[in-house]
Amino acid sequence: MMRPMLKASPRKAGCRGELHRLRRSGYVPASVYGKAFPPMSVAVEEQALQQALRRLDNHILELDIPGEGPHPVLIKEIQRDKVVGDNILHLDFFRISMTEPVRATVRIDLAGEPEGLGKGVVLQQTLESIEVKAMPQDLPGAVTADVSRLVPGDTLTVADLAMPPGVTCLTDPDTLVVTVLEVQVPSEAEQEEMAAKADEGGVKESSGAKLSE
């Protein structure tokens, strides 16, 4: 599959006013760096970036770098607006070689669901991503954790995740990913009793004052 192509434009670094101007004009500030390359400040068109991200099957795309032309880069970090999550504030691109392994953080996708989920059974995901190492062409967009066979009391750790061929997991294998718990669900009689008490006008509180004798 052909990697998405994104064109980068040069920009001035370290100027807050320039960053605001870029964003208002539909561009996102970014940095490009690599092992033997000094950091370069660039900007990419926001609409083209969003289209490239939708086509991305892992973390690698072709970036048309000013003065150098297209070069494969790994998206190292995306900074998003805390209020409007779709708004991207800044990106870090890491220049890579397609003949050398790379390290990346990939998300964990859950597949299936434990029996009884939502009916007294609760699933807690405590880890959402792991760090992996692979050749660029083998780098996955995500790793899948099958939770369909889990029952209350079961857990999944990083060691239980199946790595795709050619992918090495760098995260501690003992790290907890998922826990399945069973919670106490009130019986129908208890639910009716609680509803009746609520209809009586709520909880009565005492002021603590005493009548004089």
pLDDT per residue as tens digits for the range 51-105? 999 988 888 999 999 889 999 999 999 998 877 667 899 999 999 999 999 999 9
> Cα–Cα distance between 67 and 89 in angstroms, integer?
24
From the list 80, 94, 83, 90, the residue with the least C-alpha distance to 19 is: 90
> Cα–Cα distance between 44 and 48 in angstroms, integer?
8
* Mean pLDDT on 188-202: 67
Res. 206 pLDDT band, cuts 50 70 90: very low
Q: What domains are there in the chain, each with its CATH number?
A: 5-96 (2.40.240.10), 104-197 (2.170.120.20)
User: DSSP per residue over 9-54, as a string?
Assistant: EE--SS-HHHHHHHHHTTEEEEEEEETTEEEEEEEEEHHHHHHHHH
Res. 35 pLDDT band, cuts 50 70 90: confident
User: What mean pLDDT, rounded, does the chain reach?
Assistant: 86
165: tokens are 């061929």
